[in-house]
Amino acid sequence: MAHLHAAGLRVRAVTRDGRDVGTPGVETAAADATDGEGLAADCQDAVAVYHCVMPVLARWTRDFPVVTDALVDAASRVGARLVYADDTWMYGRVDGPMTEDTPWRPVSAKGVLRAWIAERILSAGAAGRLPVGVVRAGELYGPGVRSLVAGNVSPRPCGVGRSSGSGTPTCP
């Protein structure tokens, strides 16, 4: 959001509670990600809708298809491109670089689910419902991301986000 806003684009962040997302000038709105009609209202005038919804892991099977369908519906209603922030779980074990041509061979139920969600989005695009794009990152990363793997491999630097209460950074 910050990069889009810094590029001079109008940005609206839609979250469950409409909270401030920390980038001055970014509009905010609250929405239920399972409500296609409500999302369409929040996406009015959008050129692109970014699907970055991340249900609680224990509810992926139940929630991911519902929010994905709602976002496809909302973006198609307003004539926006849908960009899906995906991961690489659908590839499974790979012995070389991952590319768009890498076969999908998931080795877990979550990987099968992620492949199915990506396929739903790509199929909606192929059917002409809306323009779509899928972007993939290996491990979850970025500002504010709490990742079990990344946190154990690359812990937060001393002083980042920690304070003694006096405003002075502390270290464990």
Report yes or no: 72 and 38 within 8 Å, Cβ to Cβ.
no
Total number of domains in the chain? 1
Q: What percent of the chain has pLDDT over 90?
A: 62
Q: What is the pLDDT of residue 140?
A: 60
Q: What is the pLDDT of residue 162?
A: 37
pLDDT tier at 68, thresholds 50, 70, 90? very high
pLDDT at 167 over 50: no
Average pLDDT, the chain: 84
Max CA separation in the chain (angstroms): 57
The three-state secondary structure class of 86 is strand
Could you tell me which residues are beta bridge partners of residue 51? 84
State which residues form the domain around 48: 31-138
Q: Picking from 2-6, 40-44, 108-112, 164-168, which range would have the lowest pLDDT averaged per residue?
A: 164-168
Question: CA dist 130 to 30, 49, 76, 97, 115, Å?
Answer: 24, 11, 5, 30, 19
pTM, 2 dp: 0.78
Residue 41 lies in a domain: yes
Give me the mean pLDDT over the 70-83 stretch. 96
Residue 64 lies in a domain: yes
pLDDT of 16-45, one tens digit each? 999 999 999 999 999 999 888 899 999 999
Give me the mean pLDDT over the 92-97 stretch. 90
pLDDT of 115-164, one tens digit each? 999 999 999 999 999 999 999 887 665 666 665 555 555 445 444 443 33
Q: What is the pLDDT of residue 143?
A: 60
Residue 10 lies in a domain: no
Residue 143 is given by DSSP the state: T
Task: State the DSSP string of 44-67.
Answer: TT-SEEEE-----GGGHHHHHHHH
Q: How far apart are CA 64 and CA 168, in angstroms?
A: 41
pLDDT at 4 over 80: yes
Residue 74 lies in a domain: yes
Residue 85 lies in a domain: yes
Residue 169 lies in a domain: no
